[in-house]
Amino acid sequence: MTTLLWLQAAGCGGCTMSLLCAESPGALEMLEDAGIRLLWHPALSVETGAEARALLEDLAAGRRSLDILCVEGAIARGPAGTGRFQMLSGTGRSMMDWVLRLASRARHVVAVGSCAAFGGVTAAGGNPSDAVGLQYDGALSGGLFPADWRSRAGDPVINVAGCPTHPGWVTETLVLLAAGERVALDGFARPRFFADHLVHHGCPKNEFYEYKASARTLSEIGCMMENLGCIGTQAVGDCNIRPWNGEGSCTRGGYPCINCTAPGFEDPTHAFVETQKLAGIPVGLPTDMPKAWFMALASLSKAATPDRIGKNAHADRIVVPPTLRRPR
């Protein structure tokens, strides 16, 4: 039986809410089927007070084994490195202290969501709480743990990034760890099973993207890259390949991808729904696409845009259906 402890640090709890949306199976059924015993979760477990404190003390002292430590939310190190901006109620210790103690006992440590991975929204703006990710401070290696920190299994912190993270990314990571499999990681320690994809893959607006038929407002159904800040061509994630609840994703809902799986997404240099441009040309271009090639292809695509696609791009629904072709 694989043991799992889940702590919620400085964050909104949205990754837990997302996890509870897991389907076929649900999150708790998945844990049971994978042979994972949830020792404690602050929002889902019945143990509170003395029972919870005793469990945490036993784990920290090594009297009980801990296979997977999941941390949701950034670590608030303030004030002055004490971590006392976030205390674990009733223990007299900061959440920072608890994470440090328990991580040294865990076989695997998983950062659930971009706050735990990189600092995320919790570290946005002036970051008065001095919040960081477990092993990253934004895009810089070294957060609460130094860059060379490794778990008892020899792995860095596994960053299941996202704001919130996809329930399938969490469950697949936990199942792999419970099965004794090594989780392949990318350059930001994100599992490659989702980080080797782009949000662009499977996006329902791809036909509009191909012809650079661009939406001008959020109510229009054209591609949102040119004007509305969508960076799904640069953002890692298989959100449109396996959407939330079998149906939803940001771009499917008509909202631009803001690259929430990446460090620093929370502090863009422009509004989320505006595309940064230089001389009328978008600054952020698709991953691995040379700018000159993109501009040449964009010009050709715009010139070849079918009337149907051009009109639909600027509407809030399909106004011109595909041409009806009768069989010969």
Tens digits of residue pLDDT in 243-280: 988 788 999 999 999 999 999 999 998 899 999 887 77
List, by residue range, all CATH 4.10.480.10 domains of the chain. Answer: 197-318
Q: Give the phi and the psi of residue 85 in degrees, each rounded to 5.
A: -70, -20
pLDDT in the model for residue 155: 97
Cα atoms in the 13 Å half-sphere on the side-chain side of 18:
23
pLDDT in the model for residue 242: 93
pLDDT in the model for residue 25: 86
Q: What is the pTM of this model?
A: 0.93
Place of tokens 């570290």: 123
Cα–Cα distances (Å) from 308 to 208, 302, 304, 324, in that order, read: 10, 13, 11, 12
With a cut of 80, say whether residue 284 has pLDDT above it. Answer: no
What class is the 2-194 domain? alpha beta
> Whole-number mean pLDDT of the chain?
94
Percentage of the chain beyond pLDDT 70 is 99
Percentage of the chain beyond pLDDT 90 is 84
List, by residue range, all CATH 3.40.50.700 domains of the chain. Answer: 2-194
- DSSP H/E element including 83: none
Question: In whole angstroms, what is the distance from residue 241 CA to residue 147 CA?
Answer: 32
> Which among 291, 314, 323 has a CA at the least distance from the CA of 208?
314
Strand stretches in the chain, DSSP E: 2-8, 36-40, 68-72, 75-76, 87-88, 93-94, 108-112, 131-132, 136-137, 140-141, 158-160, 277-278, 281-282
Paired tokens of 120: 């995320």
Domain 197-318 has CATH 4.10.480.10: yes
> Nearest 5°: CA angle at 26, between 24 and 32?
110
